[in-house]
Structure 1
Amino acid sequence: MRTSTNPELTAAWATVPDVAKAQGRHAEAVRLRRAFPSGVAPAQALTAVQDTAIATLTATGKWPANFAKDAAKAHAEAVVWEAEVVALRRAEDVLKYAAEDTRDSMAPDVLAHLGSRLDEILTAAKDASTALGDVTTADEAIDAGGDALNAWRRLTTLLGDLRNVRAAQWDVLRGVSGDDERAQMRTWIAQGHGEVRGIRLDDVPAHVRDAMRTQTYSIAQLVWVAHSEAGYVPTSFDELRATVEAATEPVTYDDLGPLRDYSPRITPIPTPPAPALTGAERTPELRY
């Protein structure tokens, strides 16, 4: 089973009852298999009895009268041992994959927990940063002492928590994604996506964007994200994709001005005027 030493990820898995139960059963299978006494396969057991009989014949010139009984007993015990050890190994494998499937199916719940942890970290970082004043380095914090030094120590601890949450976030998302999705995530991570939303990356300070791209976080980056209130943990690949698309949608401008109506215009044909009278008019002679 995929294991992790990340305390944030381990804690997130443990908060989901179905995951905790599945992992507990797998752990019990591992314990039983490791505690099971060592033994030999049936073929090896028979070979050992045969070797003993041959050695006796060689030394005394007599074949052991109880050979058949000893061989049957050794073989039967070995068959029982092998059956159970094989069953325990299979149980470990079955429960391993069952636990992994359960974890993957509950990934949204795990990611939601990580999102809650991120909110806690950022809230604490925002509160702690108010005591820093103009302090921006560890040396300055030591020189300032008092509240500033305590705040720096607190932020240092929170920075470690932030790193673990981000690592856990990508671990879970990779675990439930296909090859194409993982490749897409690598591209997005390299661009700095997946950590803030509601803001375009072009509007993120360069040092913060670089930290997100390389995942080498600093206290300055932690404080900026905490005050921006834009930090988040995507709960699925689809949510991540939607956030990336929203953050990279191009800005459009109307260079043509207001819309104009170019539909054809219909001009009515005017009624011709009546002819003017000249006085020379006469009635036509029909007899002609």
Structure 2
Amino acid sequence: MKTVDLYLLGEKGLCVLASILSNQVRCNITVVIGTDKGIKNDYSSEIEALCLEKGVNYFFRGIESLHGEYSIAVGWRWLINRQNLIVLHDSILPKYRGFSPLVNMLINGEKNIGVTALHASEKYDEGDIIGVAVRSVNYPIKIRDAIKLISGAYVEVVLNILNKINTELPLTRICQEHSAATYSLWRDADDYFIDWNLNASIIKRFIDAVGYPYDGAKAKVKGEIVEVIEAEEVNDVFVESRSSHIGKVIFKENGFPVVICKSGLLKIKILRNELSEDIIPILGFRVRFE
């Protein structure tokens, strides 16, 4: 029986492990659990609980001792120095190589999202492709729902790989079209602030794409950092000298502030301060979102 080490992080990692166990895939697996303080739930506790329940051997990142014939990384963010390493990436390569690809695909309004399994390479996300699973997207969509959607694609790809490994079929090697590559960059705290000089449709997708389990879309109101949790586009109007008034509240509709964007208007429906308090009821009319 083949031995496979699974490097797992996040909800996608949990879904893959659960699927492997429920499908009774014939291989000996060892799990390495990653933790990520940059998101509100990294699912490390849930992965550990499942390992304990099913009697799966596991380690946390940094204390592992592994000797599997193959290694598969799901949602992993750190370098792994292993032979026969298979990496799963949140995009349809060669597009969106790098970091936060799913978030950036949703912000850009891509019609399809997907997962690519590839042989690990010296430069990130340049290895030969083993398999791809694609899912279509209907907007608006929250990041948590996109993660659930793409988790199914992860399961599809991993089960196909494990079936090939167990039956000793060769893993595909399709060279990427490197000239078509695009790159997706990492995000830090500054990248969660809304740029009101964008179109309302883009801002709406941004708010949905960086919400839970990520840190949420931020803005400043009267010097205070606030989180915009829910917003919707409303019909635009002609604003005199619009470029001078971007970010200002132009109307209140049923008590909800409507903000001027570069083009379009955005109604803010859920807005909280750093104490997670709803501040829409106390928000004045003459307010600028920065």
TM-score by length of 2: 0.21
Structure with more helix by fraction: 1
Q: Highest Rg: 1 or 2?
A: 1
TM-score normalised over the length of structure 1: 0.21
Greater fraction of residues in strand: 2
